[in-house]
């Protein structure tokens, strides 16, 4: 290895920018599969006050330069250092001076062409807009008490209750009463109040009772200019730029690299102290740019899949798809997940378009993450935007979830059976009183596992069960990239009244929270948020996306219902048995006459529940429904939009009457 001080004479005779020479280690490979794999960590910058070592994997490079800068943007490199060819396709150099506070990029030359500046594929600190990586001491970013931070306890994945949120949506409205609106720090503030004194922020989450917050992409993404935040530019963040550093737009200072890192850690620390785990939405399936991406400027072609004509494949619908099946991309993904768990103490990951990744990679990620925390939560979208360039039986598609133990996928079967198909906002289903979705709802209630009473031939999308365990299914009715529930009900139920809207909203979430899958809600649904009817609000302004916290008081009955549903699930293991055999043994669907009613019984102290026999009826009809149950005396705990575990009233079998457009839950 050549160190900079050994060649200090270079630069004396040169002008502002100098380049050290070294022999080229140009390599030619017959295929991507023959590229060398870097062993050990993929770390690219290792800082000490005495020296900083830089290492870049660029196996096809003719030359590689390290560019050193005083600032994160603007100006020219004050020094250019030639890197030296090393083992396993890497290039290395060690600079023997204290570089703390400086910035750097790499420039790789391939086939006599300089590819352009890149912070590398594994930058862990960056300047504004992520164009240059930063030299920092990561330990200086740890907030007070960080070493004592601990994950809240989690006995089983069946105990998880997910809450998906976007930083701006959750806190940007003045009605939130939060000081650091739209920032990581918004989730550190306690005692915040909205209109009529309602709890907001982290206090709201604690009051609601969720166990996990699912953060939409919070790594450094490209579509928001961090230097012009006054423009109110909005994006969900599915535009990856630097995968292993928080995004600057959610920090109070995007120019100082340490700030975004420290504030992200403060957020995690505050949520952990509140008893809430943190899930990060990760988007390894594509990059924002293709030809100018950090991957392409480092090892051209390697990190992406291609069509037969050599052009970039596009299973993501965003211009490219990454090649998780290639060893270095797989290694990158595994290390990235491990890094977020160790450096930022994250507790789980949601994989965007997980179906683009291969099964082997996802299983390796699960294994590596479990070595850090066996209770880590991993789930994703079991589909792709278009067909990926790999055989379907090798991909992490929903149909293959049973081959990925400990990894879950979203159930669009239950979602669309309740509210209608994804591709037609005006088309309703069960909630709109349309027949034909009952079997798909039963499929979701059972947790997408094999159940003797579910006729898979009549299920909307999956003609076979795909989950090995019920905890491999995410149960939901809405999320960020679709109409929120209120808007969907307005669109699909003509002339819906406010009373009907609240009734159907509660009915929908009763199906979600009594399902044996893992329940998931979109932030603000519990206060009946709307998005002005916008289906794909990824670039809509705050006026569309922000949660209006005055709705919490306005719809206090809906919030109370959600809160009580969550508490009901927590208190009664019958709703979260977590084991396929237990579900097949104790979950019995009851016969009903006609359509738009689903009824089932959780029998014989299911899951060890103190309540011996629980009956749940979901009635989407506009009139009361009659359901036959075993003889006996039943205590009503949920009826007509109200929940009380102490009991609302008493009913007697063998016939129960269920009010229109509502759920009934009783126990014997």
Active site residues: 352, 381
C-alpha span between 620 and 433 (Å, rounded)? 6
Rounded to 5 degrees, what are φ and ψ at 628? -90, 130
The answer to whether 71 and 257 are in contact (CB under 8 A) is no
Rounded to 5 degrees, what are φ and ψ at 234? -125, 145
Two structure tokens written together for 319:
């211009």
343 alpha carbon, distance to own chain's centre? 18
158 alpha carbon, distance to own chain's centre? 18
Relative orientation angle of helices 498-513 and 412-419, to the nearest 10 degrees: 160
C-alpha span between 319 and 291 (Å, rounded)? 10
Task: Name the residue among 152, 154, 157, 201 with its Cα closest to residue 178.
Answer: 201
C-alpha span between 210 and 187 (Å, rounded)? 14
C-alpha span between 564 and 542 (Å, rounded)? 30
C-alpha span between 458 and 454 (Å, rounded)? 9
Task: Name the residue among 454, 634, 603, 438 with its Cα closest to residue 657.
Answer: 634
Indicate the burial class of 610 (C-beta count within 10 angstroms; 0-12, 13-18, 19 or more): exposed
User: Which residue matches tokens 């939560």?
Assistant: 377
**CB neighbourhood size of 48 (10 A):** 11
The answer to whether 652 and 630 are in contact (CB under 8 A) is no
The answer to whether 419 and 507 are in contact (CB under 8 A) is no
333: which residues sit within 8 A by CB, 6+ positions away? Answer: 284, 324, 357, 361, 365
3-state secondary structure 456-515: HHHCCCCCCCCCCCHHHEEECCCCCCCCCHHHHHHHHCCCCCHHHHHHHHHHHHHHHHCC
């Amino acid at each position: 290895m050549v160190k900079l001080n050994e060649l200090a004479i270079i630069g004396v005779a040169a002008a502002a920018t100098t380049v050290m020479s070294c022999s080229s280690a140009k390599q030619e490979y017959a295929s991507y599969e023959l590229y060398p794999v870097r062993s050990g960590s993929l770390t690219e910058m290792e800082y000490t006050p005495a020296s900083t070592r830089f290492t870049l994997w660029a196996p096809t490079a003719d030359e590689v330069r390290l560019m050193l800068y005083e600032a994160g943007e603007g100006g020219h490199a004050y020094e250019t250092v030639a890197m030296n060819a090393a083992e396993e396709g890497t290039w290395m150099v060690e600079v023997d001076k204290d570089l703390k506070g400086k910035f750097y990029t790499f420039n790789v030359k391939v086939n006599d062409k300089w590819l352009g500046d890149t912070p590398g594929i594994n930058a862990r600190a960056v300047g504004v807009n992520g164009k240059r990586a930063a030299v920092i001491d990561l330990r200086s970013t740890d907030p007070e008490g960080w070493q004592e931070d601990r994950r809240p306890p989690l006995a089983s994945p069946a105990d998880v209750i997910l809450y998906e949120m976007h930083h701006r949506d959750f806190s940007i409205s003045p009605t939130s009463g939060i000081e650091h609106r739209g920032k990581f720090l918004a989730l550190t503030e306690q005692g915040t109040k909205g209109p009529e004194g309602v709890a907001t922020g982290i206090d709201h989450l604690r009051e609601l009772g969720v166990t996990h917050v699912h953060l939409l992409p919070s790594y450094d993404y490209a579509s928001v200019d961090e230097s012009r935040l006054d423009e109110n530019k909005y994006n969900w963040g599915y535009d990856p730029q630097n995968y292993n550093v928080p995004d600057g737009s959610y920090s109070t200072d995007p120019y100082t690299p340490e700030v975004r890192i420290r504030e992200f850690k403060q957020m995690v620390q505050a949520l952990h102290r509140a008893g809430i785990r943190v899930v990060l939405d990760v988007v390894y399936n594509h990059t924002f740019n293709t030809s100018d991406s950090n991957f392409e400027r480092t090892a051209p072609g390697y990190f992406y899949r291609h069509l037969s004509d050599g052009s970039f494949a596009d299973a993501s619908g965003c211009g490219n798809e990454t090649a998780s099946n290639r060893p270095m991309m797989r290694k990158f993904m595994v290390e990235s997940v491990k890094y977020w768990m160790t450096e930022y103490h994250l507790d789980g990951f949601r994989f965007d378009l997980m179906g683009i990744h291969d099964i082997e990679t996802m299983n390796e990620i699960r294994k590596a993450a479990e070595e850090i925390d066996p209770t880590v939560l991993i789930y994703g979208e079991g589909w792709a935007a278009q067909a990926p360039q790999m055989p379907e039986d090798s991909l992490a598609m929903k149909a293959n979830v049973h081959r990925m133990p400990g990894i879950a996928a979203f159930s669009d079967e239950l979602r669309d059976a309740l509210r209608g198909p994804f591709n037609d906002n005006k088309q309703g289903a069960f909630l709109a009183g349309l027949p034909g979705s009952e079997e798909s709802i039963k499929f979701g209630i059972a947790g997408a596992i094999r159940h003797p009473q579910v006729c898979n031939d009549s299920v909307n999308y999956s003609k076979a069960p795909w989950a090995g365990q019920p905890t491999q299914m995410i149960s939901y009715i809405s999320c960020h990239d679709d109409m929120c529930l209120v808007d969907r009900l307005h669109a699909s139920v003509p002339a819906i009244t406010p009373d009907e809207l609240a009734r159907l909203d509660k009915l929908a979430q009763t199906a979600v929270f009594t399902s044996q899958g893992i329940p998931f809600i979109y932030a603000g649904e519990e206060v009946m948020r709307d998005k002005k009817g916008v289906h794909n609000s990824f670039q809509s302004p705050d006026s569309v996306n922000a949660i209006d916290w005055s709705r919490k008081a306005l719809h206090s009955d809906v919030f109370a219902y959600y809160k009580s549903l969550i508490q009901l699930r927590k208190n009664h293991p019958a709703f979260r048995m977590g084991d396929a055999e237990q579900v097949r043994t104790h979950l019995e669907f009851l016969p009903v006459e006609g359509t738009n009613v689903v009824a089932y019984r959780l029998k014989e102290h299911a899951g060890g529940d103190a309540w011996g026999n629980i009956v749940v009826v979901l009635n989407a009809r506009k009139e009361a429904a009659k359901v036959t149950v075993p003889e006996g005396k039943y205590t009503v705990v949920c009826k007509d939009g109200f929940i009380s575990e102490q009991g609302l009233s008493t009913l007697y079998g063998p016939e129960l009457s269920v009010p229109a457009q509502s759920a009934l839950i009783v126990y014997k």
